[in-house]
Amino acid sequence: MSELKVRKMTLDDIDDVLEIENKSFLTPWTRQSFEREIRENMLAVYLVVELENNIVGYGGMWMIIDEAHITNIAVHPNFRNRDIGSYLLKSMIEYAEKLGIYRMTLEVRKSNIPAQRLYKKFGFESCGIRPKYYMDTNEDAIIMWKG
């Protein structure tokens, strides 16, 4: 596989990110949500993964004092099962650690076993449940922490 590159997301990336978002989630974020995160949220950091100059994945997190809260992470369906998710999550962890942030948290759907496996691979542990967290299906979220 060609070399993957990670970089900060820009407003110009939003069309590609929305394609991934819409193919990955039942209730996708809107263009306005991503624009607001990039333009206005001073706590937000969003990264994209490129393969041959095409965006194939992205992830976002909020840096809150000494913790990073992963808000979203997704890989284009045509590029899954190629370790791109691992590369992206590793890059997000490294980004946070460069800022001195070693504790990270996220919520993941109870049914999303592949994502849970990925997070566990990087040291995240299940620490609780948010009942009916996902409004679209009333599915529970598993709260996971690293560090």
- pLDDT per residue as tens digits for the range 14-26: 999 999 999 999 8
Convert the chain into a string of H (helix), E (strand) and C (coil). Answer: CCCEEEEECCHHHHHHHHHHHHHHCCCCCCHHHHHHHHHCCCCEEEEEEEECCEEEEEEEEEEECCEEEEEEEEECHHHCCCCHHHHHHHHHHHHHHHCCCCEEEEEEECCCHHHHHHHHHCCCEEEEEEEEEECCCCEEEEEEEEC
CATH class, 4-107 region: alpha beta
Q: Which residues carry out catalysis? A: 107, 119
| Average confidence (pLDDT) over 8-16 | 98
Across 101-108, average pLDDT: 97
Overall average pLDDT of the 30-53 stretch? 97
Res. 37: pLDDT tops 70: yes
